[in-house]
Structure 1
Amino acid sequence: MKLKDPGPTIAEAKARGIERISVRGFERRDHEDVKSALREHFASCGRITDITIWFRQTVANIYFVGEGAADKALKLDGSVVAAGGWKVSAEPYPFSEERWIDVVVIRGYDYTSLSDSEVDVAVRDFLSSCGQVIQVMAIKRKGSIVAYIKGFFAGEKVVELNGSYLKGHKVAVTVLTTPFRNRRRITGRNALRIPHPGCE
């Protein structure tokens, strides 16, 4: 499964007038239905380039092109989505100047007979349409793969790969997003949330 090009940098996004908001209010339901309803509801605010919904979440991010589009969209906070009958909660979600990376966890890919370099190539190819893959690590005792990726809303693109196939194996893909500035060592359950030093 290939997604669109990783997209522009934050500076390029601002130069091209890309803005975004965060939307809540819908229950867990078919994502395509929600996206269609949101496109219709926010159509008057500006040209919508993309809508992403995190896996198993009730939060959508809507991307617009056009100066002031996000401000117009925020005025619809509390309005009722005609196609869904639910009240929308719209919040600002501006782009940050901080550098972020995303930690991707892939489960379900049987790599036991492969070398580390073969796993690295396969995973980099799998994630290549989402952003720049910095590092790939196979955690053999847990049967999972961890990859560090950066790019313009790369994490949101990666979650769309959940349930797709990696070299014939249906995989579960989750994302742990961490601000790059956070270099504090974390141990235990949150160990995967540490940005790798090679990501600068």
Structure 2
Amino acid sequence: MDIYAILRSGGEEFESEAAEKAFTDKCSGKPRVLISVEGYNTCLHEDDIKKELINHFNSCCEVGTVIVRKDPDNSPNLYRRAYVILLGDGAEEKAMQLNGTDIGGWKALVKVEPDQEDEESSRYRSSLFDEVLNDPKFWFGVSVRGYDTSLPVDKVESDLKEHFSNCGEITHVFVNTHEEQTNIYFARQQEEARALFLDGTEVGGFELDVRRVASVLSNRPFGNGEIPLGYTIPAHMFEFASKMNEEIDEKVRVFKKQRNII
């Protein structure tokens, strides 16, 4: 992982030789990891995003630097992905624990960035990520709040599955204990619509708050790749971010090995 290449790609410049030396000394000899963070409003000021990210990730480990770039398509907005270099033992695991957490009113989608890859491997990695992003299993769904959060996760899941079973085929259920909400996905759009009608109904004496979950279909980027104002990252990407990093890394490793053999 070439930190200086990352800095230069982001247009970062050190104010002086002393500043560059201070950064080098700070990073020298320490384990480090590069993560990317998405979810912020790209219309915000670059300095505001940097401050929010530094304050948030300082809670778990030492922040080496934060890179917030301008959109590569000459848009006046910021690029939708910021990069953070974290230092210290266990930085990767600590960073992933902050995936899906709130930062000033927006949820952070945290991903560990791989070491520099060749173009073909990078395209393959992107294709695997897009495959998870666009999985039809997560096209239609609702988020549910208001149930008894003191119950065990398996009890919450079984009670809500039973309550929403008449809506149609349930493809996936995720109980988010941190956010105290459960996402329930359905095979078809009309089943999602039926689930929304259960807003205000009760489970175990608790009134449910049922809303449409953020999905890949609910708000798409523009055709030129620009992220529209108010864009929300599909909810299932927060759930699978850590698992995706591990599985995609392994698939890319196998891909590289097979290609070298050929």
TM-score range relative to shorter protein: 0.3 to 0.5
- The structure where strand makes up a greater share of residues is 1
Higher helix share: 2
Return the index of the structure with the highest Cα Rg.
Answer: 2
TM-score normalized by the length of structure 2: 0.33
Give the TM-score normalised by the residue count of structure 1.
0.43
Greater relative contact order, per chain length (Cα 8 Å cut-off, separation 6+):
1
